[in-house]
Amino acid sequence: GNSVTQMEGPVTLSEEAFLTINCTYTATGYPSLFWYVQYPGEGLQLLLKATKADDKGSNKGFEATYRKETTSFHLEKGSVQVSDSAVYFCALSPSPVGGGGNKLTFGTGTQLKVEL
């Protein structure tokens, strides 16, 4: 079946540090890949996505590249801010073979804490 594995948190960084949150996946075919962000007390928001191999998704200074050869979609940001403190979820959508409710498969989430 499909699965997403994220690095365990919490990840604690100083402001302006470089961020990497690892995400690897298991899926057949060519899934779409997503990163969601959840700020405290809120629902999840789509941060970025990539729908085919070698695509790079980017938003708000965050980037992730769809690497089919390593089945990875690592999230990166060159300089984090205190306002980036949140929980980050990696997710995949399987190839459109139909059925199954069109569900996403989520990782367990990685909490990021950015300190001054």
Partner 1 sequence: SQTIHQWPATLVQPVGSPLSLECTVEGTSNPNLYWYRQAAGRGLQLLFYSVGIGQISSEVPQNLSASRPQDRQFILSSKKLLLSDSGFYLCAWRGFSFGNGYTFGSGTRLTVV
List interacting residues with partner 1 (CB under 8 A). Answer: 32, 34, 36, 40-46, 49, 51, 87, 89, 91, 93, 95-96, 101-104, 106, 108-109, 111
The least distance separating partner 1 from the CB of residue 12, rounded to whole angstroms, comes to: 16
C-alpha 4/C-alpha 22 separation (Å) is: 10
E-state strands within 32-109: 32-38, 44-50, 56-59, 62-65, 75-77, 86-93, 105-106
CB of 46 vs partner 1, minimal distance in Å? 5
CA–CA gap between residue 88 and residue 38 (Å, rounded): 6
Nearer to partner 1, 67 or 78 (CB): 67
Considering the complex, state which of residue 77 and residue 94 has its C-beta at the smaller distance from partner 1.
94
Q: How far is the CB of 34 from partner 1 (least distance, A)?
A: 4
Residue whose CB is less far from partner 1, 78 or 96: 96
Cα-flanking dihedrals φ and ψ of residue 103, to 5°?
-85, 150
As measured in angstroms, the least distance from the Cβ of 54 to partner 1 is: 15
Pairing of strands 11-14, 23-26: unpaired
